[in-house]
Structure 1
Amino acid sequence: METQNGWARLTKRPSVSLIATVKNERPTLDAWLAGIENQSQPPDEIVIVDGGSLDGTWETLSQWRAPCDLVLLRVAGASISFGRNLAMSKASSDVIAITDAGTVADTNWLEKLTGPFVNAAVDVSAGFFRPAVAGAWQRSLAATTLPDSDEIQVATFLPSSRSVAIRSSWVQRGFEYPEWLDYCEDLVWDLQLKRGGARFVLSQDAVVDFAVRSDWLSFWRQYFRYARGDGKSGLFAKRHAIRYISYIIGGVVAVRARKLELAMGAVLGCAYVYKPVVRLSRRDRLAGVRSLETLGAFLLIPAHLLIGDVAKMVGYPVGLVWRWKRFGAVGPWTSWRRIRPDGSIWHPRSTAAETPPQEV
């Protein structure tokens, strides 16, 4: 991935299609649509797939006076991946920008996100997202789970499909979201594109706001599902193994209750919460939050880390079991690297005419 410097082979601004999927988004729909309407550089086309809303979302979209050509499609039961793939197949522009309902885009979001495509060498523009928070609980959770833009490692960043854009030529070459996944589908798509040679650029000023979870249960469910998606797709196996080992060791140390071991555990625990604490302190200071309120939010960070970790440790094996039942194994031959977007397996012993699903 590159930053936006040293452009070569400049071209004229490409046409842009904005796509999204929705389902029962009525409470946040007005703010999302207003964000699109207020863009400094509106899209040339908007394609929205409704997965079967029952709360008035479809009716509101049908009456919306969009700032450009609008294509609305309704497919009851459509997954996020299926909906995005369908929307991308209907898009007619040079560049496809992707976002999620429930977000609120900065006024210059689309302009910043699609600006890099004047450079013919750019294939994917990775935007960023900012947590919308209210109260100590959400501020603490956001600091625990979401990095600031200056923490991003450009070479390894996998953009969320809340804020990303791609040349349509890559979609035409078969790079689609994995329809066999219900969570982590955007990470697998990113990895497929990187594996296929797509050139990413980080557009960290292209920002959308989104609301973080507002209670313990919804947060637990979210991270359970993320980890289940990791297990289904074969993502981050080493990271999950390290987590299990760390908690096993921590449990043994707690049971043994030896002073030196407990002291070492306390030091490691402080190191674990350090980054979220620094992040929260910086964000609260910039937002003008009183120090006493920040201190209270600090106390929630260990609980957020623990709940998130437990959710991941429960969710990951559930995903592994699903992968075993679906594909007959949980090894590298059934990871995302070997599974086509439609859920079929590619194998090296396939006919010579076949190629891996992500190779070009």
Structure 2
Amino acid sequence: VSGASGFVGSHIVYQLLEAGYSVRGAARGSKVINLQAAFNSFNIPSNQDRFKALNIPDIASSDLSDAFKGVSGIIHTAAPLPGHADVEITLKVALQGTLHVLESAHKAGIHKIIMTSSIVSFPYSEGLFSDDAWNPVTLEEAHNNNYATYAYAKTQADKVALEFTKTHPEMDITFCNPGWIFGPLIPSPYSYHLIPEPSPAALSTTGYIYALLNPNNQHYPSVPGFTDIRDVARAHILALSSQYKYPQQRMILKAPEPNSFREAIEILEAKFGKEVQGRLANKEKAPGEEWAIQEDKALEWSVKTKDVTWPEGWKSWKECVEDTVDSLLDMEKFWKGKGLEVRVLEDPSL
């Protein structure tokens, strides 16, 4: 699992270990130590090396031969978030990184690859979407703002990988393309080791939920839609374990439910009461259900969904919001117990 210390990667590692897999998780620098500490308890009961954190300094150029030795599948999640790296680094990780992972996997005889992509690689228009539907964002636009950089990087990375499969048809590559990902951090105490001090970057997009605990917050996602991080991780693992090579490789992941941030604030009021009193954002200024339904072009609300993806169905907006804040309040107590300052950003997109 590349990007194993990240929000998505850590959930995938956790679910893989819980399901009995042996896992190697790639990260960089000091994150490697935290990553090993987070999941080292999975090695203790059986005295086996079920989890090993690897230092991969540069996913676009580092030698991956040892990391891939004896591996049966790869989940490639590593990617900079919008605004957390300059344009050239973002594009290098996305394009050269993707190609390097695929070429190294091919040399190692690994054919099963799951790629973490994004719904932004599809056009922001009415569906239905196929593998040939692409975001028309240009390189020039990518140099002008963070969102365009991210969209361009994800779009081109998908194209690079699909082009690779044309010359290497034995490669079984599936793309998971979620929309906005929210949800709790991995369960404690694993989260305590992984994020030992406050880090807005570690929260990733779920920082938008955390920002509901800042009364001055007026910043919300530009478009609606959500998928709980636990469902995103589960989808990756289902794709990894599936023996069926599905004709369509790019899979949009989106919970079939509107996500009103006004409702989210009401959910937190009801669930946490005095614990969040005086901390909540102004719900009158938060996007409501009308925004969530009318502005969402990726879902056809008139279609009745069936819970065929997994028996228990998609995690609801209510469960996602409650569990996210429960997780973050727990982390606040942990950080404050170490004497660290905890601050909720007013604008989580920074």
When the two structures are superposed, what TM-score results if normalisation uses the length of structure 2?
Answer: 0.30
**Could you say which structure has the larger radius of gyration?**
1
| Structure showing the higher helix proportion among its residues | 1
